[in-house]
Amino acid sequence: MMNVTQAFRGSILYFTGDPLHDHQPVIWHEDGLLLLNGELIVASGAYADLRDKLPEDLCVTDYSGKIIIPGFVDTHVHYPQTDIIASPAEGLLPWLETYTFPAESQFGDHDYAQEVASFFLDELLKNGTTTAMVYSTVHKTSADAFFGISHQRNLRMVTGKVLMDRNCPEYLQDTAESGARDSEDLIRKWHGRGRQLYALTPRFAPCSTNEQLGLTGELARQYPDTFIQTHVAENQDECAWARSLFPSARSYLDIYDQFGLMRERAMYAHCIWLDETDTRRMAETGSAISVCPTSNLFLGSGLFSFRGAEQHQVQLSMATDVGGGTSFSMLQTMNEMHKVARMGGYHLNALRMFYYATLGGAKAMRLDHQIGTLQAGTEADFIVLNPKATPLLSRRTENADSLEEVLFALAMLGDDRTIEATYAAGIRQK
Ligand code: GUN
Ligand code: ZN
């Protein structure tokens, strides 16, 4: 007899494959049941098939009329930029100088960093995001503070100390050696401790010397199950700057490739201005793309090309990129992702957007055996969507003719009000 500690009844939706490439990639039970044992899912399926697995004395939490899906996975976001979200600037580089760098200077203070990390995690959970790949700042203590809070709450989170040893204010610079040493200390302390995971985090090539990128590549080889996160080809001025600093590289992306920073678990944010060779290289190396539509529109960086990524079958994921991004909501991010695709003459259906926000993100991070799904044996990180959360949503979803239409309305009209509940490792967080 299976041990069951919690049970949830409602519609159940999750993916087993990519809607673009795989046959029948969706699991849908209109009247479903999700069973947990402690922090893990032990079964999910049709209520009629699983009701006899319910212990007699167990109270079932009833989410009938609502949709239970895996928690959202945001693959690129900056916690130290929480307080400068929605700051006006004329594009990426002026925005970094005017708002971002000064804001990040405060994160050498552990207490301050903890307070912001705590607010940031509340905001993620309120919006249904249960896993994120997060940038800290250059300060070792900023990553340490974030891990401490996330560990206390038993959340599956990834972060890393930012590496930047040139072309930024002196108060935010490390050195190639100190950056590598601090990163290694943090890996030893946090990577794999509870649910915490480490990401080597060179901010972007223009802020690192050859020495720093070289040492980061060595760490990436030495610790192959750590993550790598950086920015690439976001904005044309940035691309020109990167090319001028590394004249021997074939392209901006090639800078990272030359230093051994393209591999599985490497997450490249933006990728708007890649060429075909770059895109092929992303696929060959198993590197993944974070598509950040609210940020790209806000900063006027450009429109991501879904067609190029589709041709080469690059692993795609979805991200808010707060504070360049303008919302913590992955539903709002879907809304803008759809519009970015439309502007390129490309139709992104709701099923694919929900895939990118859940299993797609988990696969891009090689964590799909643990999160992004409701399959038995995985971690109980899930959310409950309310298709009647607002009067307008209610009117639109009541007359929907298909699951696609319901999900599309949630993606276009949804926000934090749509998230009825958020659970992480089986514990209710919202
Ligand atoms: N490129 C380098 N740093 C950043 C950052 O903090 N945000 C964004 N959007 N792009 C960057
Ligand atoms: Zn970013």
Nearest atom, ligand 1, residue 204 CA: 2
Name residue, tokens 């552990």: 110
Task: State yes or no: cis peptide before 323, omega within 30 of 0.
Answer: yes
**Domain 6-70+373-428 carries which CATH code?**
2.30.40.10
Q: For each of the chain's 430 residues, which pLDDT tens digit applies?
A: 789 999 999 999 999 999 999 999 999 999 999 999 999 999 999 999 999 999 999 999 999 999 999 999 999 999 999 999 999 999 999 999 999 999 999 999 999 999 999 999 999 999 999 999 999 999 999 999 999 999 999 999 999 999 999 999 999 999 999 999 999 999 999 999 999 999 999 999 999 999 999 999 999 999 999 999 999 999 999 999 999 999 999 999 999 999 999 999 999 999 999 999 999 999 999 999 999 999 999 999 999 999 999 999 999 999 999 999 999 999 999 999 999 999 999 999 999 999 999 999 999 999 999 999 999 999 999 999 999 999 999 999 999 999 999 999 999 999 999 999 999 999 999 9
Q: Which helix (H) or strand (E) holds 333?
A: helix 330-343
In this structure, the strands spanning 288-291 and 315-318 are parallel
User: If you search the block for the tokens 């997450």, which residue do you land on?
Assistant: 267
* Residue located via tokens 């899912």: 41
Residues 155 and 12: their CA atoms lie apart, in Å, by 22
Topology (CATH) of 72-348 = TIM Barrel (3.20.20)
46: number of CA atoms within 13 Å, CB side?
2
- Ligand 1 centre to CA of 84 (Å) is 13
Dump strand ranges (E) for 83-151. 129-135
Q: Which residues pair with 228 in a beta bridge?
A: 200, 266
Q: Is the CB of 298 under 6 A from ligand 1?
A: no
Complex ipTM more than 0.95, yes or no = yes
Instruction: Dig out the tokens for 330 from the structure.
Output: 């992955």
d(CA 175, CA 177): 5
Ligand 1 centroid vs 210 CA: distance in angstroms? 19
Is the Cβ–Cβ distance between 207 and 232 less than 8 Å?
Answer: no
Nearest CA to ligand 1 atom 9: 324
Give domain limits for the chain. Answer: 6-70+373-428, 72-348
Q: Of the ligands numbered here, which is closest to the C-alpha atom of 290?
A: 2
| Alpha helices in 191-328, H assignment, sequence order | 210-222, 236-245, 252-258, 276-285, 293-298, 306-311
**What are the residues facing 45 on neighbouring strands?**
33
pTM to 2 decimal places? 0.98
> Beta 427-428 vs 419-424: how paired, if at all?
antiparallel
Tell whether ligand 1 has an atom less than 6 A from the beta carbon of residue 76: no
Q: What is the DSSP string of 159-199?
A: EE-EE--SSS-GGG---HHHHHHHHHHHHHHHTTSTTEEEE
**71 ligand 1 Cβ < 6 A:** no
Q: Is the dihedral of CA 288, 80, 332, 355 positive or negative?
A: positive
How do 266-270 and 315-318 pair as beta strands?
unpaired
The identity of residue 95, as a single letter, is W
Q: What is the pLDDT of residue 1?
A: 73
Q: Is 204 in the pocket of ligand 1 (CB under 6 A)?
A: yes
